[in-house]
Each structure stands twice: as structure tokens, then as C-alpha cells.
Amino acid sequence: MTIRVLLADDQALLRATFRILIDSAEDLTVVAEAADGQEAVDLAAAHRPDVVLMDIRMPNLDGVSATAAICSRPELTGTHVLVLTTFENDENVAKALRAGASGFLGKGVSPDDLLSGIGTVAAGDALLSPGATRTLIARFLAAPATDDFHALPDAVKTLTDREREVTALAAHGRSNADIAEQLVLSPLTVRSHIQRAMTKLDARDRAQLVVIAYQSGLVKPHTQPDG
């Protein structure tokens, strides 16, 4: 199955470079290019790509607002946004995750990591390394968002004890294999718990589940799980 990618960046040269790289992969193809955020929203609606490679700083509509617009559309639930950012000092990363982005990469990413990241996001997994989860998520998402976020504490109460435990570990950056080893479960069972938690909390992917875990208070930013 070929993963269909929409490129959204205001720099034509960068888009051309990404297109060459992505089209060189057997299982990836670029279906459209957007030079600003509004065009990204329009083209996402028209092409329904699997992944939108989204720059944050763009004219007309910035990448965060474009991400929110794409992720809020019911017909685009199968479209995942992968944000490109300067990473180290960009607090818009947190806003993009709240808006529904599935992950983020620095613009200095290696070609192999970019292609791998697109595949990861297309599969519905979060492109959040354990280090990124512990630092960026905890740092930027510790304070609740000012807008109304759909994952309220009452929704968290619908989770079983095991689902809550697995979600908390995932929010601390543990992989399914790590969680399985700690809880003496199979990775498949862990994945099932993650999927059920996502369904109950209306999270479109693992990245948003992590956001919910922090914003609902299920996980505190400066605590570490046992084990």
C-alpha cells in the first residue's frame, strides 16, 4: 500500500527536495504541494492524503491553525499531520499537538529518519521519542490549554485500571515493548489497551493520547512511573 503525502511549506526549494526524496521511496508518493496553510487545508480536503508534512511558519494561515483545521474535519480522520519545526525552541510544537498533530521532526532530520517518520505517523503511531515525550510534552503541556479540550477528567474515569496504567506509561515515553516487559504482558495486549484508551478518549492517535494524559491530570509532568 502506497502512503500518500501532502507537502506544506512556503519554501519551494524545500518542497522540491522533499518531493524528490519521498517519491524515491517505493511505498511513498507526493500527491500535492501547498505553499501556505490555507492551501494545505484545501488540498487535504481535496486529496485526503495519509500524511501532511506541515511546516509551522507559513503565510495566510500558519501550520498550527492549518493542523487544527485539518484534524477537526470528520472526513479527514485518516489524515495524520507530521509537523516540521526548528524543534529546540518552538513552543508551537505543543500547540500543534493539541491541535491534533501526530508528531514532529526537526528540519535537520536525516533522509532515512524523515521517510521512517512518515511511515510511523501513517500507521497511526506517534512520532514521539521517549526523550521528546519526557521533555517537550512535559514542558509545554504541563499547563492546561485555555481553550476547551475535548478530553475532560470525566472521560479519563471511563478507563479501566489497566488502561489508565498503560496510558500513563505511554505518556512517559515508554514503547509498547517496554510497557509489556514492565507489566508482564504481551506487546499485542498492550497495543489493545492503548487502542481502547484512544477510543474511549476520542484520541485520533497515540500522540493525542499523550496530550490527553497530561492535560487531564492523569500524568504529572515531573513524575516518573514505577519500574
The answer to whether residues 155 and 188 belong to one domain is yes
The answer to whether residues 68 and 122 belong to one domain is yes
In a domain, 139, yes or no: no
Q: 89-110 pLDDT, tens per residue?
A: 556 667 787 788 888 887 778 8
The answer to whether residues 15 and 64 belong to one domain is yes
Q: Is the pLDDT reported for residue 63 higher than 50? A: yes
In a domain, 222, yes or no: no
Kindly list the distances between the CA atom of residue 5 and the CA atoms of 43, 111, 117, 128, 222, in Å, as whole numbers in the listed order: 11, 15, 12, 19, 36
Q: How far is CA 101 from the centre of its chain?
A: 4
Measure the CA–CA gap between 129 and 172, rounded to whole angstroms: 10
Q: Is the pLDDT reported for residue 80 higher than 50? A: yes
| Tally of domains in the chain | 2
In a domain, 46, yes or no: yes
Q: 105-161 pLDDT, tens per residue?
A: 877 788 998 898 898 888 876 665 544 555 555 555 555 554 444 445 677 889 999
Q: Is the pLDDT reported for residue 202 higher than 90? A: no
Q: Is the pLDDT reported for residue 7 higher than 50? A: yes
Q: Find the CATH number of the domain harbouring 175.
A: 1.10.10.10
The answer to whether residues 33 and 113 belong to one domain is yes
The answer to whether residues 32 and 122 belong to one domain is yes
The answer to whether residues 67 and 175 belong to one domain is no
In a domain, 72, yes or no: yes
In a domain, 73, yes or no: yes
Q: Is the pLDDT reported for residue 186 higher than 60? A: yes
Q: Is the pLDDT reported for residue 203 higher than 60? A: yes
Domain that holds residue 211: 148-215
Q: 37-56 pLDDT, tens per residue?
A: 999 999 999 999 999 999 98
